[in-house]
Amino acid sequence: MIEKLSYRGTGRRKSAVARVILKKGTGKIIVNKHEYTKYFVTIKAQRIVLQPLEALKILGRYDVQARVTGGGKNGQAGAFRLGLARALKKADDTFEVVLRKEKFLTRDPRMKERKKYGRHGARRGTQFSKR
């Protein structure tokens, strides 16, 4: 059997989309042509990005390259995590059990609620006027 050179995964969170490419390598993580620590400056976002690799204990085994668009940095980090988990599942079927247990393969369905007509926002109504 011929082993594939790269594995792809797409992740979405809120309005952010991440396209992740996974290759065997030394553990380099590149996001939008930047090192992931330079792109995701908060420690929280950096931890979210590394969670699937830490759960599987394969931190230095794969090179990860990703393009993320839309949303904010935390939404992009969540999208990256889902895309990475999906790519890892394609790379090795045995990873799926751990990834599913940790809920890394579950898409977060929460989205911004749309604005309704006759209202100032999604739920905020007009201000009451006595006269």
Q: pLDDT digits over 36-51, tens only? A: 999 999 999 999 999 9
pLDDT band at 8 (very low <50, low <70, confident <90, very high): very high
Q: Is residue 95 part of a domain?
A: yes
| Residue 116 located in a structural domain | no
pLDDT of 1 higher than 60: no
pLDDT average, residue stretch 52-81:
95
What confidence score (pLDDT) does residue 104 get? 96
Tell whether the model's pLDDT for residue 89 goes beyond 80.
Answer: yes
> Would 1 be classed as within a structural domain?
no
CATH number of the domain that residue 50 is part of:
3.30.230.10
Q: Is residue 20 part of a domain?
A: yes
Distance CA 33, CA 36 (A): 9
Neighbours of 46 (CB within 10 A): 15
Dihedral angle over CA of 102, 45, 111, 99, nearest 10: -20
Q: What percent of the chain has pLDDT over 70?
A: 98
Provide the domain count of the chain: 1
Percentage of the chain surpassing pLDDT 90? 95
The average confidence (pLDDT) of the chain is 94
